[in-house]
Structures are given as structure tokens and as C-alpha cells.
């Protein structure tokens, strides 16, 4: 048995040993690659080639091999393959939700960078459910995944921090890597890579842009309290208030979930309450969609009556009515950077495991000066 004790060194197995390994390690399954070779009347190397699809094999040979594979219910041994280096481990990406217009672009970045390096990427939406995250991390250890990338703001409580520390250790022990994207680093010393972006700076720019143009009463439709991205964006907003000497008003600081419905409801309620505001900063562009709809429903013109700034710069922001001024988050770049840092770890001299990418305000037609 050649697979013993290779957990943490799996990724660096020398490539030259692969042919030998894949035949010897397959003995443990119910039918082996040798059984397939005998049934198909070809060599073990030919079966290996036909299954890998990386070498030219005639269609007739491939059919014979596949028929034998099927008749024997042969299942290629996962561990043997991963350890042999014949198939590079995948990169797994864990998102809270698949349908958000912005996180899909992190996934696209992960996928592009993984593909460049000859790896599959698998995406899984866990809706923050710890059991499903546990299951995915376990599955990815078994698959000798190159990295497991968790994306999106998180509530930084004790159970979360303990769970992340556990994932980091478990993945590290399996030769893989935990990468947190759009989340703060874990306190303490853990084998984890962090790729964050400047939530505070982006939110500061959004509010600054409004204050510079004379707005004073700005409705801030923030995220859920304790969510890391929401807290950071709120910090940036409050810093801009202070920088411009604008007094804080509790009635203008309205937390909620990052959905269109919530953006609509909060804007409608603020209008009905008559609290008075000339601009809205939405925590995300999705929230901004709701705000725009509520303002339209109330017969108000954007930007004539009320200005609106979003956060994310979704691809259809220029196509909205009016085209939306928003804070651009480099989502694809976050995904690419996550994979690059995780996979090039062995080649770097320094432990450059925490990077923060910048954000920028993209100015369109949803803001007008007072």
C-alpha cells in the first residue's frame, strides 16, 4: 500500500511516479484497473490513457475500455488518482447564494484562474448552514482539493471563528488551503489565506461624493448588524459624516437585509415617516433597486428629487433607470487572487497571506448636487 501518510504532501508528489502509482494503488477497490485491462484486451497504460482522455486513443479502443469499465462497475480510485498527480485537485468555492449578481463574478474569477492551472472549480451554496459547510469541507479534503474558498461577509462570532480555525487546520493537514474572501482575517495564527476588499474606503467615497455636492440628510440602508461587510461599510459611512461635520441622525441609519424587497420597504417607510432626506446610500445595488422602485412609486424623480448611490457595481448598473452611481468591487479579481495566492503558496518567499483589494466609485447619473 503506497498511499499511507501522504495526506499533507499530496500536492507535491513528483510527476514521474504517476504511471506506477495508478496501477498499484488501485488494488483496494472491488474491481481494479487490471481487471478492466484484461476484459478490454489492452494494457493497463491504455486503460489509464482512455480514462484520462489526455492522450490519443482510437475510438474503437476507447469504446472497448469503456464497455469493460461499465461491465465491471469499475470506479477509478479517487485517492490513488489524486495522489498520483494525474488529475490535479479541484478548487472549491462556497457562496451563501448563487443568484446574487455580484458573487457569481467571484465564482467566474475563481473558475478562470483554476482553469488556467488545469483544475476544475466546484461551487456550492451553503446559505451559511454550518452542517453543509462541514460536509463540503470534508468532501473537498477527500478530493484533495487545492483550495477551499469561502466568500461573502460572515458574522464573526465564537462558533464561526472556531469552525474556521478547524477548517484551516483540517485542510492544511490534507495539503489543501482555506481561503477567506471578503471577510476579515481570523484572530491568532492559522493556516489561512485572506483576500479582502476595502469596504470602509468604498462606503466613505459613496457618502463623500454626496456630501461634497451639498447633501446633508442621507438615508443609509445598511446591512445586518454583526455581518462583517455591513459593519465595515457602516464604519466608512460614519467616517465620512465626521469628515464633513455632518451630525449623525439615528433615523437615517437603517439596517436590514441585502435584498430588493428590504430596500423597497425601508425607503417606503422612511418616506412615509417623513424623516426628510435628499439622498440614499444603499448597502448593495440590489438594495438600491428596491430604493429606486420605492422612490418611483412615490412619484419622486432620481436624481431630480432624491439622489441614490449603490454598492457593488453590478453589470447592469449602466442599464438602470437612471444609470446607477455605485462603488465597484473587483469581484472577478477577488476570485482570481484567491486561487493564485492559494496555489502559489509554495513558491513565495514571504507569507503574503492577507491582501486587501481596493474599491472605486463609478459615477453615473443617479446623483445630483443640492
Binding positions for a copy of itself, rule: CB under 8 A: 1, 3-5, 7-8, 28-30, 51, 53, 66, 69-70, 73, 75-76, 78-79, 87, 90, 97-99, 101, 104-105, 107-108, 111, 115, 120-125, 127, 131-132, 134-136, 138-139, 141-143, 166, 169-170, 173-174, 260, 289, 292-293, 315-316, 318-322
In the complex with a copy of itself, the residue whose CB is nearer, 252 or 280, is 280
In the complex with a copy of itself, the residue whose CB is nearer, 228 or 366, is 366
Pairing type for strands 325-328 and 178-181 reads unpaired
Contact at 8 Å (CB) between 107 and 123? yes
**Minimum CB–partner distance for residue 213 and a copy of itself (Å):** 23
**Minimum CB–partner distance for residue 47 and a copy of itself (Å):** 13
Cα angle 69, 73, 75 (rounded to 5 degrees) comes to 80
In the complex with a copy of itself, the residue whose CB is nearer, 78 or 212, is 78
**Minimum CB–partner distance for residue 308 and a copy of itself (Å):** 12
DSSP character string of 212-266: HTT---EEEE---TTBHHHHHHHHHHHHHHHHTTPPP-GGGEE---SSHHHHHHH
Residue carrying C-alpha cell 514521474 = 16
**Minimum CB–partner distance for residue 277 and a copy of itself (Å):** 21
d(CA 325, CA 310): 6
Half-sphere exposure of 276 (CA within 13 A, CB side): 4
β partners of residue 279: 218, 307
In the complex with a copy of itself, the residue whose CB is nearer, 205 or 365, is 365
In the complex with a copy of itself, the residue whose CB is nearer, 8 or 352, is 8
In the complex with a copy of itself, the residue whose CB is nearer, 34 or 216, is 34
In the complex with a copy of itself, the residue whose CB is nearer, 218 or 308, is 308
In the complex with a copy of itself, the residue whose CB is nearer, 135 or 344, is 135
Cell numbers at 109, concatenated: 474569477
**Minimum CB–partner distance for residue 25 and a copy of itself (Å):** 11
> In terms of Cα–Cα distance, which of 92, 87, 46, 96 is closest to 69?
46
d(CA 102, CA 182): 12
What H or E segment, with its residue span, contains residue 149?
strand 147-151
**Minimum CB–partner distance for residue 111 and a copy of itself (Å):** 5
> In terms of Cα–Cα distance, which of 138, 140, 137 is closest to 120?
140
CA distances from 303 to 73, 77, 361 (A): 65, 61, 17
> In terms of Cα–Cα distance, which of 311, 286, 287 is closest to 233?
311
d(CA 327, CA 318): 13
In the complex with a copy of itself, the residue whose CB is nearer, 151 or 246, is 151
CA distances from 153 to 94, 106, 113, 199, 322 (A): 12, 13, 22, 11, 28
In the complex with a copy of itself, the residue whose CB is nearer, 53 or 187, is 53
**Minimum CB–partner distance for residue 283 and a copy of itself (Å):** 17
User: Across the beta sheet with 325-328, what order do the strands follow?
Assistant: 253-254, 218-221, 279-282, 307-312, 325-328, 360-362
d(CA 183, CA 129): 17
**Minimum CB–partner distance for residue 251 and a copy of itself (Å):** 27
**Minimum CB–partner distance for residue 107 and a copy of itself (Å):** 4
**Minimum CB–partner distance for residue 333 and a copy of itself (Å):** 14
Amino acid at each position: 500500500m503506497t498511499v499511507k501518510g501522504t495526506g499533507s504532501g499530496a500536492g507535491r508528489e513528483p510527476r514521474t511516479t504517476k504511471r506506477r502509482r495508478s496501477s498499484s494503488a488501485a488494488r483496494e477497490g472491488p474491481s481494479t484497473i487490471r481487471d478492466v485491462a484484461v476484459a478490454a484486451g489492452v494494457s493497463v497504460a491504455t486503460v489509464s490513457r482512455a480514462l484520462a482522455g489526455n492522450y490519443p486513443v482510437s475510438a474503437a479502443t476507447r469504446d472497448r475500455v469503456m464497455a469493460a469499465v461499465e461491465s465491471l462497475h469499475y470506479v477509478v480510485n479517487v485517492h490513488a488518482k489524486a495522489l498520483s498527480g494525474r488529475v490535479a485537485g479541484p478548487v472549491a468555492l462556497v457562496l451563501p447564494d448563487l443568484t446574487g449578481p455580484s458573487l457569481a463574478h467571484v465564482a467566474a474569477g475563481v473558475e478562470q484562474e483554476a482553469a488556467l492551472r488545469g483544475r476544475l472549480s466546484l461551487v456550492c451554496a451553503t446559505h451559511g448552514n454550518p452542517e453543509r459547510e462541514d460536509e463540503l469541507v470534508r468532501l473537498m479534503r477527500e478530493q484533495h482539493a487545492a483550495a477551499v474558498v469561502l466568500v461573502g461577509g460572515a458574522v464573526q462570532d465564537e462558533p464561526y471563528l472556531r469552525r474556521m480555525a478547524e477548517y484551516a487546520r483540517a485542510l492544511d493537514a490534507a495539503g489543501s488551503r482555506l481561503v477567506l474572501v471578503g471577510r476579515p482575517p481570523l484572530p491568532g495564527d492559522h493556516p489561512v489565506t485572506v483576500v479582502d476588499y476595502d469596504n470602509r474606503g468604498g462606503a466613505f467615497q459613496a457618502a463623500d461624493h454626496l456630501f461634497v455636492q451639498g447633501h446633508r440628510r442621507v438615508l443609509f440602508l445598511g446591512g445586518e448588524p454583526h455581518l462583517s461587510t455591513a459593519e465595515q461599510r457602516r464604519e466608512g459611512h460614519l467616517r465620512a459624516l465626521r469628515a464633513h461635520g455632518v451630525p449623525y441622525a439615528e433615523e437615517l441609519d437603517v439596517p436590514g437585509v441585502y435584498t430588493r424587497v428590504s430596500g423597497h420597504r425601508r425607503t417606503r417607510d422612511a418616506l412615509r415617516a417623513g424623516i426628510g432626506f435628499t439622498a440614499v446610500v444603499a448597502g448593495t445595488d440590489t438594495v438600491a433597486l428596491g430604493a429606486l422602485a420605492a422612490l418611483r412609486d412615490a412619484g419622486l424623480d432620481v436624481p431630480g428629487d432624491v439622489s441614490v448611490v449603490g454598492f457593488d457595481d453590478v453589470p447592469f448598473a449602466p442599464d438602470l433607470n437612471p444609470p446607477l452611481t455605485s462603488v465597484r468591487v473587483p469581484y472577478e479579481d477577488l476570485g482570481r487572487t484567491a486561487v493564485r495566492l492559494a496555489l502559489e503558496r509554495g513558491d513565495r518567499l514571504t507569507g503574503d497571506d492577507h491582501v486587501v483589494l481596493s474599491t472605486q466609485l463609478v459615477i453615473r447619473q443617479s446623483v445630483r448636487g443640492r
